[in-house]
Amino acid sequence: MITMIKKTSTVLLATIAISGPMMTSLSAHAADEHFVMISHAPDSDSWWNTVKNAVKESADTMGVRVDYRNPSTGDLADMARIVEQSIATNPDGIIVSIADFDVLSGPLEKATRKGIPIITINSGTAEQSLKLNALMHIGQPEYEAGFGAGKKAQKAGVTSFLCVNHYITNPASVERCKGYADAIGVDLTSSMIDSQQDPSGIEMKVRAYMRSNPDTDAILAVGPTSAHPTIRALDKMKLNGKVHFSTFDLSEDIANAIKNGTIAFAIDQQPYLQGYMPVVILTLYNRYGIIQSNNINSGPGYITADNLALVEKLTGTVR
């Protein structure tokens, strides 16, 4: 998925408990401050576990309570309803990913009218965050991250590619693919597939595309959900190391694929920062009226075989 960002300490929860299967209490502290973090991620997206870890550590450090809420299937209409439900509880702040500006702008306007401060994270742009009247945006500039990855691939001789997009309804994922396509100078339309999220289906679609387009130089996956089945597809087709393969984000499988040469590099948006920093910033804003004047770009960073050892032990927890 998709996705963004950096470290520090606290997240959001409530003196009023929000009921529902999609809400998880991330801190046992009893506190006056009640924040809510709302992401677009389905329950199956393990990448967000690092964000949740950061939220818990940040909440514990700052002595606040945070609710983490998400649409269980990743449905954006469901996410918009969660935003509205969360606003109705009058939290002291909202942290939200801009999975789709058009879908979320209406519900989030209600937060502004009620004077609830907002920090946007992960998906979306600084410009969209500003339009939502958010205090700031913490995340990775997605087009620029894709463009940077494409430039690295171009230096390796790449002139064509396949973007395996498992979350095509999220504009940020398309921006990743578009940046890469522009960097190597190709049209995205014929270079991107809507793989959806079923692992077997993704593997099958990648294999079918590569059979139909045998001259494809490279593959870009927009996250672990699409990267893991692509690793298996290349292995079965005996294309490991023969196709320049890069992916957004990190996992144990991706780290192993970097080590064995299947993946050239992973684009790291430092998700820990996306969970840790907004809790700290909202706490300082609520308590003291302190707010920094700039957004936080949490990425992109690039993980290769040369620097993998620095982050591998922390995969899934801090990295």
Number of structural domains found in the chain: 2
Residues 97, 29 share a domain: yes
Q: Is residue 69 part of a domain?
A: yes
Segment 65-90, tens digit of pLDDT: 999 999 999 999 999 999 999 999 99
Cα maximum dimension of the chain = 60
What is the spatial distance between Cα 290 and Cα 303, in angstroms, rounded to a whole number?
Answer: 34
pLDDT band at 20 (very low <50, low <70, confident <90, very high): very low
So what's the pLDDT on residue 316? Answer: 79
So what's the pLDDT on residue 198? Answer: 95
Q: Where residue 50 sits, what CATH number does that domain have?
A: 3.40.50.2300
So what's the pLDDT on residue 16? Answer: 32
Residues 93, 63 share a domain: yes
Whole-structure pTM over 0.85, yes or no?
no
Q: Average pLDDT of 111-124?
A: 96
Residues 163, 94 share a domain: no
